[in-house]
Amino acid sequence: MEFLQQLVNGLSLGALYALIAVGYTVVYGIVQLINFAHGEIFMIGGFGALAVWLLVPGESLSIWMLPIMLIGGMLAAVGVALLTERVAYRPLRNAPRLAPLITAIGVSIFLQEFVRLFFGRIPGFPDSKRAIPFPQIEYVTGEAFNIGGVTIQRAALFTLVALAICAGFLYVFVNKTRLGRAMQATSQDPDTARLMGINVDKIIMVAFALGAALAAVAGLAHGLRYTNIDFKMGFLAGLKAFTAAVLGGIGNINGAVVGGLVLGVVESMATFIPGQFGGSAWKDVWAFVLLILVLVFRPQGLLGARVVDRA
Amino acid sequence: MRKHRLVIAGATLLAATMAMSACGTRSDPATSSSNDVKVAKIGVIAPLSGDLSALGLGIRNSVDLAIKQANENNTVPGWKLELDAQDDQATPDVGKNAATKLAGDTSVVGVVGTLNSSVAQSVQPVLSGAGIPQISPANTNPTLTKGANYASAPARAYPTYFRTCTTDDVQGPFAAKYLYGEGIKKVATIHDKKAYGQGLVAAFTEAFKSAGGEIVDAQTINPDDKDFSAVISKVKGSSPDAVYYGGEYPQAGPLSQQMKAAGLNVALMGGDGIFDPAYIELAGKTSNGDLATSVGAPTDTLESAKTFVSDYTAAGYKEPFGAYGAYSYDAANAIINGLKTSLANASDVKSALPATVEAIGKVSFDGATGPVSFDQYGDTTTKVLTVYKVTDGKWVAAKTGS
């Protein structure tokens, strides 16, 4: 029974990682950039959703606020992601690989500090220097479901359902639409894609926007699930999501989803390892042991990087 | 062309960062000095930003209040006292840098801080090396005063270190006795692997076992984590009657919330690190019944604290004084009381430091939290504690004792 409970815990935690990991993988697949600021995009998604809720008068907890918050979070996350792409990454597109990587770390610190210092200064907004309680929307939060002794929290279920919908949407988008096929083409060979009449700049923007939109879903889910958000929540979540993307095979969208879920489950299951090396204290150790093993024996990740190697 | 754009982007970022840091320092409460009176600075090392800033800003403001009152009453004739508050971000490295900065300033007569025991461990040697007295309003780890073998062979660790709050070797057992007295026999413990949390849980565990209770599970969490569901499911399997948590409210609040959401409907009990209104805010409605021990008697019921509370309110600080405000006020006044004798005939601050340390060790006055004096280890002689219970979204005192 505890095994099933930990499986549920792991899957719902992993779903959050997976939603963020997609952003790392999509951007890497197109521009070979590890966007370390993506964790902060996730954080901004959460703050955007909260801001919209604060701006709508009445402090309503009705379920109808959920889509409004989701759109607000997405607008904020996508807007910031496109802005960072335009201001910080595009000027460095032909620079050595290390330059955009360092820039990404700088952008990450900048966004954290920006939210920390300025979110709370908007009149009527709470102090952002510490954790801010997140509105508990009806139906998606509240009393947990209990199925045969296994507790499933509503917000955890919301995260899993959101991941399923987003994964389905992504599959259709990448494989069935013109824009999606253009993305695949750009990822395989940007120069030839450009010769075929694909606007590569636009495709890169789409990749950033797509990742940011999913990160905003994760930001909202995080707020509902853990009932509070703070300016540095993107750091560790981003690190774990990056791990998930590498685990699944960076550049591979399906891999990001699988990698996220596997990472979440391993972290939860680590509590079963008996003795001194078991328990919750060692869960990150076991997660990274798994990552090292995968990288040693299958460097391309669990599902393998589908991108044509250009290095 | 490309390089040019890069420069513009870089310059924009730089300008924005500088603008931000300028905003950050503008609100420094220290005022500029005049020429004819000599200046002595009282430092504060506390978390002024980050999760624990609710407590840290209360410490800074309370010290500021004590300094302002001393200047108004001319408590130390011929000297003007100033505040020099440094942010330690609740991090040992940053705290050490702050201590080094204060130790390098020859006009610093004493330091109030830190909040965290883990930060104190790295601040102590720096201030002690410079001979600067340090009084903490909030460090509860017993090793800071009595050394590593505090139970068997107590030996004073640093002659310059004092504290106005009581310690975990009193606080942990007090919580254990309270829970056992409430008929709770099975407890699971969780801590955050920091000096404070680990020490508190160790003291609790020992006392609870010797009282006849059973520790059914002992787990830890990573303070950076947001998701505690794996730990909670594990603890739930051992079906405890209560969970004792060693750590601070930024993790304890969400932990309590997630415990109740996962169907583990027992009380979470913690130490003074979770005794803050922010805990209830983070833990939500389901935190009713959760418990915390904190040092001293409740500030708002103490006769001696009434003046402090009304003065603090009158001074119009933006942040509340928090759990350690009254202790910080007493700590600052202990330094000021010491200065009355040590600075009376002194020409400069530096040469008067040994006399200041000696004078602080001998102070005895009625402070906001009751009588203030220190024993041979630098610990307070007052060892009163209170158990608080969350009732209708507020901390309400349940039992005061020692």
Q: Indicate if B357 and B317 belong to the same structural domain.
A: yes
Would A65 be classed as within a structural domain? yes
pLDDT in tens, B293-342: 988 778 777 778 888 999 999 999 988 888 889 999 999 999 999 999 89
List, for residues A20-41, the tens digit of each pLDDT value: 999 999 999 998 899 999 999 9
Q: Indicate whether A303 belongs to any domain.
A: no
CATH of the domain at B365: 3.40.50.2300
Q: Specify the number of domains making up chain B.
A: 2
- Do B172 and B275 sit in the same domain of this protein? yes
Mean pLDDT per segment of 10 residues, for chain A of length 311 residues? Answer: 89 95 93 93 97 91 93 97 96 91 95 93 87 88 84 91 95 93 91 93 95 97 92 92 93 92 92 75 85 89 64 36
Instruction: Give me the residue from B193, B219, B263 closest to A146, CB to CB.
Output: B263
Rounded-to-integer distance, Cα A209 and Cα A76, Å: 11
Q: Do B229 and A280 touch (CB under 8 A)?
A: no
- Do the domain assignments include residue B17? no
What pLDDT, on the 0 to 100 scale, is given for residue A309? 44
Q: Which of residues 196-225 of A touch B (CB under 8 A)?
A: 222, 225
| Alpha helix stretches (DSSP H) within chain A | 2-31, 38-55, 65-84, 98-118, 154-176, 178-188, 190-195, 200-226, 233-248, 253-269, 283-297
Q: Give the count of domains, chain A.
A: 1
Provide the CATH number for the domain around residue A135. 1.10.3470
* ipTM field: 0.84
CA dihedral sign, ordered B140, B141, B142, B147: negative
Confidence (pLDDT) at A149? 82
Tokens, residue B3:
């390089």
Q: For residue B264, give the chain A residue with the closest CA.
A: A151
What 3 state SS string does A19-36 have?
A: HHHHHHHHHHHHHCCCCC
pTM, to two decimals: 0.80
Instruction: Provide the residue range defining the domain that includes A199.
Output: 2-297
Instruction: Let me know if residue B2 belongs to a domain.
Output: no
Residue A78 lies in a domain: yes
Q: Is residue A218 part of a domain?
A: yes
Q: H or E segment at B13? A: helix B2-26
Q: What pLDDT, on a 0 to 100 scale, did the predictor assign at position B16?
A: 52
What's the rounded Cα separation, in Å, for the pair B185 and B330?
A: 38
Give the DSSP letter of residue B380. Answer: B
Asked if the structure places residue A194 within a domain, the reply is: yes
Q: Map residue B71 onto helix, strand or coil.
A: helix
Residue written as tokens 């460097």? Answer: A299
Q: Are residues B218 and B291 in the same domain?
A: yes
Residue B29 lies in a domain: no
User: Could you say which residues from 156 to 215 on chain B have a Cβ atom under 8 Å away from some Cβ of chain A?
Assistant: 193
Output phi, psi for B109, to 5 deg: -95, -20
Give the separation between CA A122 and CA A120, rounded to whole angstroms. 6
Burial class (CB in 10 A: 0-12, 13-18, 19+), A143: exposed
Q: Please, which residues have CB within 8 angstroms of residue B229's CB and are 6 or more apart in sequence?
A: A9, A12, A13, A268, B258, B262
Structural domain harbouring B291: 168-295
Provide, as residue numbers in chain A, all residues whose Cβ is less than 8 Å from the Cβ of B230.
6, 9-10, 13, 267-268, 270-271, 280, 283
Closest approach of chain B CAs to the CA of A116, in angstroms? 9
Before B301, cis peptide (omega within 30)? no
Average pLDDT of adjacent 10-residue blocks, chain B of 402 residues: 50 49 42 64 92 90 95 91 94 94 93 92 94 93 88 88 90 94 94 89 94 93 88 91 94 93 92 90 91 83 84 91 90 94 86 92 89 91 89 90 76
The answer, for A299 touching chain B at a CB cutoff of 8 Å, is no
The token pair at B369 is: 């939290």
- Is position B285 within any domain? yes
In angstroms, what separates the C-alpha of B283 from chain A's closest C-alpha?
8
Q: In this complex, which of B24, B50, B262 lies closest to A117 when CB atoms are compared?
A: B24
Tell me whether A61 touches chain B (CB under 8 Å): no
Q: Please check whether residue A242 is in contact with residue A61, taking contact to mean a CB–CB distance below 8 angstroms.
A: no
User: Quick check: is B154 in a domain?
Assistant: yes
Helix boundaries (H) for B87-157? 92-103, 117-129, 143-146
Q: Is A276 on the interface with B (CB under 8 A)?
A: no
